[in-house]
């Protein structure tokens, strides 16, 4: 069983396709690993083992075996973030408002993955409605970082990242508005890919035209992330911004990668954010190694100076579109940061929104022009290493005070505004043994080239070979001290 949980998703799917292992055996291996580790990290608070076993039996029943042999995931158990509905399975969105919610229909994301051979085994923990980059909520409590269980795993796809890092599952869904695929990936030494808006269909939604947040894959390796992305993509009539699947699978780009030729590295995205010194040092050393692939690496960045102001407006508007109807009846039980952010959105004027949209358009054109010169933009994925799990959010970095609960991940949300695909890949560790991630940003809708470059970097660094890890108890470390 332990040998199965150590497999990459690609290796596990290969065994499943060839009939060397069954989906039921994979479920049993995952359940055993969850039982051995989850009490220490709280990554997967909701299990649906019987549903998974029934699904596995359907996949291996008479007439189904041939389909399994060619399906993309071939009966591989996965975890689904608790923001996404799974039919017949408790889905809370991390909120006490929906603590007993059991949907009748699965989200499009889940349906697509199941159509491609995935088996949903568990729901992964998330902050309330996915807002905030530290995974805790009033329904299931805190999720802890397996590299040091006194520290946060980041968020909002924190449970997913921890489940992968500890070997509980081979693949996991995540979503990303400001940082939610990239920050937990960086904090847990796994891979999180934020694709372009529309690349992965989702819904039904209260605001289906929203293009700030996206669904994407989380995995232990870049190849595994590419495999999952291939199982997620495709247009869907219920998602008005969804894109057709590309003609060439993303796995092709990983199996035959092309090295980038010219790379821009920025330690702070042109000075828009402070970065902890140790994180900056680890990331700078990692970025320089791209020269070993024959790439020219130089310090450069598109003008992102107004990204923070744009995001503040558009994020508040997004919260109003999605969550404002809940305020009247549930304000007293909603996360105070979310209530504040919705209230900020309700104060916006049409002029505020118009100026933000115009500024975002101008920013996009600057970034698109930038990628006519550079193949990649590289930066730290986070500005701090994992911090004390009891701290709600970072308020200060290297003497700089941060104004809101989400400004500490501006290095990620500035890229959200561009709509460019971005991936967090492990690049090293702090002196305290805490993971550090590097953010690689590709050209608009350039996921294939991005994945190829990330795969070459991953192979050069050799960090992925250290997963999965057993949870490691420890004391809080790091720069952040004040508990909120």
Residue 426, domain member (yes or no)? yes
- The pLDDT assigned to 62 comes to 66
- The pLDDT assigned to 478 comes to 61
| pLDDT, the chain, mean | 96
Is the pLDDT reported for residue 480 higher than 50?
no
Q: Where are the beta strands (DSSP E) in 242-364?
A: 262-265, 296-299
What is the per-residue pLDDT across 173-188, written as a single tens digit (0 to 9) for each? 999 999 999 999 999 9
**Per-residue pLDDT band at 255 (split at 50, 70, 90):** very high
Is the pLDDT reported for residue 1 higher than 80?
no
The CATH number that applies at residue 233 is: 3.90.1300.10
Q: Which domain holds residue 291?
A: 2-466
Percent of the chain clearing pLDDT 70 (strictly above): 97
Is the pLDDT reported for residue 195 higher than 50?
yes
- The pLDDT assigned to 482 comes to 38
b (16+ CB within 10 A) / e for 289-327: ebeebebebeeebbebebbbebbbbbbbbbbbbbbeebe
User: Quick check: 448 and 253 in contact, CB under 8 A?
Assistant: yes
Written as one string, the DSSP assignment of 350-415 is HHHHHHHHHHHHHHHHHHHHHTTT-SEEEEES-SS---BTT-SS--EETTEE--STTGGGHHHHHH
Residue 7, domain member (yes or no)? yes
Residue 478, domain member (yes or no)? no
**Per-residue pLDDT band at 51 (split at 50, 70, 90):** very high
**Stretch 57-72: mean pLDDT, rounded?**
77
Is the pLDDT reported for residue 438 higher than 90?
yes
**The two structure tokens encoding residue 374:** 């550079």
Residue 252, domain member (yes or no)? yes
Distance, in Å, from the CA atom of 332 to the CA atom of 287, rounded to the nearest integer, reads: 46
Residue 254, domain member (yes or no)? yes
**Per-residue pLDDT band at 63 (split at 50, 70, 90):** low
- The pLDDT assigned to 64 comes to 67
State the pairing for strand pair 422-429/435-441.
antiparallel
Is the pLDDT reported for residue 481 higher than 50?
no
Is the pLDDT reported for residue 372 higher than 60?
yes
Is the pLDDT reported for residue 276 higher than 60?
yes
- The pLDDT assigned to 484 comes to 31
**Stretch 70-97: mean pLDDT, rounded?**
97
Is the pLDDT reported for residue 267 higher than 50?
yes
What is the per-residue pLDDT across 206-222, written as a single tens digit (0 to 9) for each? 999 999 999 999 999 99
Residue 477, domain member (yes or no)? no
**Stretch 47-54: mean pLDDT, rounded?**
98
Residue 71, domain member (yes or no)? yes
Say if pTM beats, i.e. exceeds, 0.75. yes
**Stretch 415-427: mean pLDDT, rounded?**
98
The residues annotated with a catalytic role in the active site are: 81, 156, 180
| Poorest-pLDDT segment among 71-80, 203-212, 471-480 | 471-480
What is the per-residue pLDDT across 132-185, written as a single tens digit (0 to 9) for each? 999 999 999 999 999 999 999 999 999 999 999 999 999 999 999 999 999 999
**Per-residue pLDDT band at 2 (split at 50, 70, 90):** confident
Looking at the structure of the chain, the number of domains it has is: 1
Is the pLDDT reported for residue 448 higher than 60?
yes
Residue 415, domain member (yes or no)? yes
């Amino acid at each position: 069983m332990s040998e199965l949980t150590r497999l990459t998703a690609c290796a596990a799917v290969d065994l499943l396709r060839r009939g060397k292992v069954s989906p039921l055996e994979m479920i049993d291996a995952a359940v055993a690993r969850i039982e051995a580790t989850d009490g220490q990290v709280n990554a997967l608070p909701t299990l649906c083992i019987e549903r998974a076993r029934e699904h596995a039996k359907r996949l291996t029943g008479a007439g189904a075996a041939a389909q399994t042999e060619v399906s993309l995931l071939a009966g591989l158990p996965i975890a689904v973030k608790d923001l996404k509905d799974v039919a017949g399975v408790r889905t809370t969105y991390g909120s006490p408002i929906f603590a007993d919610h059991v949907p009748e229909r699965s989200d499009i994301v889940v349906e697509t993955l199941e159509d491609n051979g995935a088996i949903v085994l568990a729901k992964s923990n998330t902050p309330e409605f996915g807002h905030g980059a530290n995974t805790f909520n009033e329904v299931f409590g805190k999720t802890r970082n397996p590299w040091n269980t006194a520290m946060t795993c980041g968020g909002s796809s924190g449970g997913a990242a921890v489940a992968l890092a500890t070997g509980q599952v081979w693949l996991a869904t995540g979503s990303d508005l400001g940082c939610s695929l990239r920050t937990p990936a960086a904090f847990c030494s796994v891979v999180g890919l934020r694709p372009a808006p529309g690349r992965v269909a989702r819904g039904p939604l209260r605001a289906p035209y929203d293009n700030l947040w996206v669904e994407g894959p989380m995995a232990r390796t870049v190849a595994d992330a590419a495999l999952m992305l291939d199982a997620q993509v495709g247009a869907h009539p219920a998602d008005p911004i969804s894109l057709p699947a590309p003609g060439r699978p993303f796995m092709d780009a990983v199996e035959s990668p092309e090295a980038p030729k010219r790379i821009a590295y920025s330690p702070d995205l042109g000075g828009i954010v402070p970065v902890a010194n140790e994180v900056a040092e680890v990331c700078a050393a990692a970025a320089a190694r791209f020269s070993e692939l024959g790439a020219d690496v130089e310090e450069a960045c598109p003008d992102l100076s107004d990204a923070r102001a744009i995001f503040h407006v558009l994020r508040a508007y997004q919260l109003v579109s999605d969550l404002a109807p809940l305020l009247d009846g549930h304000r007293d039980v909603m996360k105070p940061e979310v209530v504040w952010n919705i209230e900020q959105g309700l104060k916006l004027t049409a002029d505020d929104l118009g100026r933000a949209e115009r500024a975002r358009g101008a920013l996009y054109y600057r970034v698109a022009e930038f990628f006519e010169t550079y193949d990649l933009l590289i930066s730290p994925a986070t500005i701090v290493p994992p911090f004390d799990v009891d701290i709600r959010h970072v308020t200060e970095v290297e003497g700089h005070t941060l104004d809101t609960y989400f400004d500490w991940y501006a290095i990620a949300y500035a890229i959200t505004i561009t709509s460019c695909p971005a991936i967090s890949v492990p690049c090293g560790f702090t002196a305290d043994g805490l993971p550090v991630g590097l953010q690689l940003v590709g050209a608009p809708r350039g996921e294939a080239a991005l994945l190829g470059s990330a795969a070459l970097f991953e192979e050069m660094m050799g960090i992925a070979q250290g997963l999965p890890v057993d949870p490691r108890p420890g004391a809080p470390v790091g720069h952040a001290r004040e508990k909120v």
